[in-house]
Amino acid sequence: MNEHENNVPVTEPERQQYFIQKTSAILQSLENELGRKLTCHIATFGCPMNARDSEKLLGVLKEIGYEETEDETGADLVVMNTCTVRDNANQRIYGRIGVLKSFRKSNPHMRIALCGCMMQEESVIEKIKKSYPYVDLIFGTHNIYKLAELLYTMLSEDRQDIEILDHADRIVEQMPVSRKYFYKSGVNIMFGCDNFCSYCIVPYVRGRERSREPGDILSEIRTLAASGVIEIMLLGQNVNSYGKGCSDRISFAQLLQKASQIDGIERIRFMTSHPKDLSDELITVMKENDKICKHLHLPVQSGSSRILKLMNRRYDKEQYLDLALKIRDEIPDIAITTDIIVGFPTETEEDVNETLDVIEKVRFDNAFTFIYSKRTGTPASTMDGQVEEYFVKEQFARVLSLVQETSKKQTERFLGRCVPVLVEEVNEQDPSLLTGRMEQNLVVHFPGDPSLIGKILPVQLMECRGFYFYGKITRA
């Protein structure tokens, strides 16, 4: 960027709008030279927050003038929005970058950009600079909003551009967004995490907790509702601790109440909740407010109090059980899903038995079950007592079997009911069917016309297939 230009705005998002226009002019010149439109492809890895970030990235790229393509191999700009929760996620990214090198030979105009959590690791940046020098643009989690400015530097100076910030000095959300669905959207309410679980890299790459002002969040939701969105998902690494640093301090439960009062919004979801911060106020709001979906993702990670302490989860088995069973008692139709790690350092068969006990007592509706793997840069990676692979696989099989059995029983409890279902898409396997979701996040397939997508309809649940249903619309 030519820094002596004195007409560059210093405030956001005006600065990025300026660079959108400047980059658009460069793109137009390239298109005139090539005689065709330039295309972009975004590959998203990881959590719903990454998916929301990708919608922002795509919104900016479309505003600049790129056309989206599903063809990663032929795109003029490939953006990889990375996840780094596990080491094997990093290896997948390296593999994808390597594959792209060959496609650059057939398309010399291809540019490769890497962003997201993985880019916040210094060792990753050094490896990319050394082994993948053909990557054109690298940026992290704290400057996603600067894509247009970074692209402008890369294209105008025709050089590799790397900008990684150690922390976020601002929250900029008022940028163009290209949503995947017209009827639902994620809404970021906070960023970062202060919990420092011993196995988790997120606080190191996403930074400390920062909450958006409630007024800004509610304004965004009103805009979404006006555009036809009927379901929102409030996103944060730990939504229950929402409010830190806000000038207008309200609780997460109060934010939910205010969001539910916005005309046009019919469903509200949120994730993720940390058990140590989930309040009685939130339980009451979920129980009494029909717009808040009866689904709670409440990661337990382990049922062993000893392991939970090593994980730095700051609750024990009994505290988790008391909370989960209280929620079940207060909201009988709620679906509780969870995350479980098997094979954490020093874990024994007795520890796994404690996890099985929690699964049986809570009756999880679903669980994301993972085999522990060392994550470089976390305290757990250097702990003594790393568990043998054969033992972990045996215990993982036990946990997975019980999760599947319990989840099936939990799903079957809805069989025969007529429930409201948000119609999401045409079924991928059978185009005569539509696919939608209950408020408990259960999937339902049923006959219907694509014109019904984006509507909430009453569906009779006729057949249970373990973890999903077949049904029929009772009235259109």
Residues 6+ apart with CB under 8 A from 371: 341, 342, 343, 392, 393, 396
**Neighbour tally for 109: CB within 10 Å:** 12
Helix (H) or strand (E) holding 334: none
The token pair at 367 is: 């669980």
Q: What is the pLDDT of residue 6?
A: 67
* 240 has a pLDDT exceeding 60: yes
Per-residue pLDDT at 110 exceeds 90: yes
3-state secondary structure of 213: coil
What region does 377 belong to: left with phi over 0, alpha with psi -120 to 50, or beta? Answer: left
pTM comes to 0.90
First and final CA of the chain: distance in angstroms?
56
> In the block, which residue shows the tokens 């400047």?
22
Preceding omega of 203 cis (within 30 degrees of 0): no
Higher pLDDT, 48 or 267: 267
Q: Which residues contact 5 (CB under 8 A, 6 or more apart)?
A: none
d(CA 54, CA 46): 11
Give mean pLDDT, residues 301-322. Answer: 98
Supply the pLDDT for residue 4: 46
Question: What is the mean pLDDT of the segment spanning 2-21?
Answer: 84
